[in-house]
Amino acid sequence: MILAGDSQHLGDLKLVKAAKCGDSSAVKDFAQRIKCAAKFLSIQNRRMGSPANDEELADLAQDVVLVVLRKMGGYEGRGSIESWVYRIARLELLVYLRERGRRPAPVGDMLDAAGGGSPKGDERFAITVVHRALARLRPHEVELVELRHLEGLTWDKIGARLDCPANTAKTRYHRALVKLQNYVHDRDGEDG
């Protein structure tokens, strides 16, 4: 199963570091693990109504791998390798489609289903902006957002994970959220 606990993430961190240092066994294992990039692109593309063809997806998969390789030093093992690769693949695909003016239909449905709208009237643009804003947050801030929205943990569990009371976790989370909101809307990140 791809979603994994902390212990595997620590293993993932060791694997990425060893691969980055050129350890041949680690490089081979790492190469196998990040093959999922192509699968993520293909599945997401299908869910969006297949706006990209197979040739484009194959090229994109290579682009994603190059971004992954470039960002290896920034991987901190907070999520699994697959989760990390997924987010890079997601952003690359969205940017690629936006630059080519292709609209993936279900993204809008997804936002509607979530009860939200689009800040700029372009859902794909909004998602891309949010991903880029997330990349500007500090690691501990991203962790809070991920624990809440990606892992879907309760506040008690988030507090336990971060070794702090649930109320403290809530306050820190909201501070991160305000900062993210400011980045999304091109304001300085620290106000609120």
Partner 1 sequence: MDARHLEILERIATGELDREDPAVVELCRESEEFRARLAEQSELLAVLEAEGGEEREVLALAAEDDSAAPGEDRIPTLVLESLVVEPGGRRRSVWVRTVLVAAAVVALLVLQWSRGTDEGGETLLGPPGVELLEPVGEVERVAAFRWDYDLPPGGWFQLTLRFDDGTSFKTSSRIMRAEWKPEPDLGERLSAGFAWEVTGFGPTGSVVARGGPARVDASY
Task: Give the total of residues touching partner 1 (CB under 8 A).
Answer: 77
- Nearer to partner 1 by C-beta: 97 or 126? 126
Helices 81-99, 6-20: axis angle to 10 degrees equals 70
Binder to partner 1 among 14, 70, 100, 140 (CB under 8 A)?
Answer: 70
Binder to partner 1 among 15, 19, 137, 142 (CB under 8 A)?
Answer: 19
Distance (Å, rounded) from C-alpha 93 to C-alpha 109?
A: 18
Distance (Å, rounded) from C-alpha 187 to C-alpha 170?
A: 23
Distance (Å, rounded) from C-alpha 5 to C-alpha 78?
A: 10
Number of C-beta neighbours around residue 88 at 10 A:
20
Binder to partner 1 among 9, 12, 34, 81 (CB under 8 A)?
Answer: 34
Binder to partner 1 among 9, 12, 37, 159 (CB under 8 A)?
Answer: 37
Does the footprint of partner 1 cover residue 162 (CB under 8 A)?
no
Does the footprint of partner 1 cover residue 171 (CB under 8 A)?
yes
Over the window 85 to 124, marking each residue x when it contacts partner 1 by CB under 8 A and - when it does not, the resulting string is -xx--xx---x--------------xx-xxxxxxx-----
Closest among 78, 84, 101 to 40, alpha carbons compared: 84
